[in-house]
Amino acid sequence: MAVITVIGLGSMGLGMALSLCRAGHRVIGCDLRADAAKSLVAEGGETGTPREAAAQSDVVVSVVLNADQTEAVLFGAEGCAGTMKHGSAILSCATVPPQVARRLAAKAEALGLHYLDAPISGGAAKAAQGKLSIMAAGTEAAFDAARPALDAMAETVHDLGRVAGAGSAMKAVNQLLAGVHIAAMGEALAFASSQGLDLQRTVDVISASAGTSWMFENRAPHVVAADFAPRSAVTIWPKDLGIVSTIADDAGLPVPLTRAALGQFEAAVAAGWGAEDDAAVTRVYARAAGLTLPGDS
């Protein structure tokens, strides 16, 4: 049994913490929201502040929103890295630019800590089942130190090498495709609506045809059901596709599809749908053409 701290108990972090509990580890959850850990405590987990929890832990799993939050919870004024035991491990799971991952890894190593650049994919359901895909890069010692957490949280751990940053780069590839596919799903459903097609029938036909994608099959039913409760919120995509765009700019690489999708998610945020499920990007297309979607009055 390992002692593992999970910082950030949103839809992903909570599921990961619950998976760790079920694997028999002692799990301490940390979140700014007082009620975020209720489900964790009900499953035998504990709560605490990051600094106090990290001081007791073999592994700290950071599942916060972005690079700024990651650096703050680890190395800020109230950051936990300074209280961690020598030789313990940090798993950094937020989507960040590769250069940030490398910089944070160097900070951790200077404190005698192991750092695994370990972005995650799979969604809240797979997080709760311990079946995430983790794109990891770091030293062999970092993998070894993090192994109890990796085994409990992931169905697949992709070892992307010994240097932090490769995990974040691979996650950016994934997010490029995922964001473009969600935007394409919204465009396709709006196009179907413009042609008078029944949207449920459209989902059935396209899901069995060459034009389908995992994102189409997963998100299009949300639109048909007018169910925009956030499994993955619209606001994630301006951040993640913004990271992709910045990385591409640095490489001198044009990414027109990424930028087109980014613009649609930014429009959805501007329209007030940022906190809704990312399938709500469909509304951007529909409203531009005066189309009515399921659930519209």
The CB density around residue 1, as the number of other CB atoms within 10 Å, is: 9
Q: Tell me the mean pLDDT in the region 46-62.
A: 97
Task: Give the total residue count for the chain.
Answer: 297
pLDDT at 262: 98
Tell me, what's the pLDDT at 266? 98
Q: How confident is the model at residue 170 (pLDDT cuts 50, 70, 90)?
A: very high
Domain with CATH 3.40.50.720 in the chain: 3-163
Please report, for residues 159, 190, 214, 258, the alpha-carbon distance to residue 293 in angstroms, rounded to integers and kept in the order given: 43, 8, 22, 25
Residue 49 vs residues 32, 56, 269: alpha-carbon distances, Å: 9, 11, 32
pLDDT reported for residue 35: 85
- Domain 168-288, CATH: 1.10.1040.10
- Checking if the pLDDT of 297 tops 80, the result is no
CATH 1.10.1040.10 placement within the chain: 168-288
Q: What is the pLDDT of residues 220-232, one digit of tens each?
A: 999 999 999 999 9
**Domain made up of 3-163: CATH architecture:** 3-Layer(aba) Sandwich (3.40)
Give residue 135's region: left, alpha or beta (phi > 0; psi -120 to 50): beta
In 3D space, the residue among 20, 238, 232, 151 whose CA is nearest the CA of residue 29 turns out to be 20
As annotated, the active-site residues are 171
pLDDT at 114: 98
- Say what the pLDDT of residue 36 is: 87
For the chain, the average pLDDT equals 97
Say whether pLDDT at 94 is over 90: yes
Question: Average pLDDT for residues 86-104, to the nearest whole number?
Answer: 98
Nearest to 59 by CA among 12, 22, 16: 16
Predicted TM-score (pTM) of this structure: 0.95
Confidence band for 34, pLDDT divided at 50, 70 and 90: confident
- Distance in angstroms (rounded) separating the CA atoms of residues 41 and 186: 38
Percentage with pLDDT > 70 across the chain: 100
pLDDT value at residue 259: 98
Check residue 144 and give its pLDDT: 98
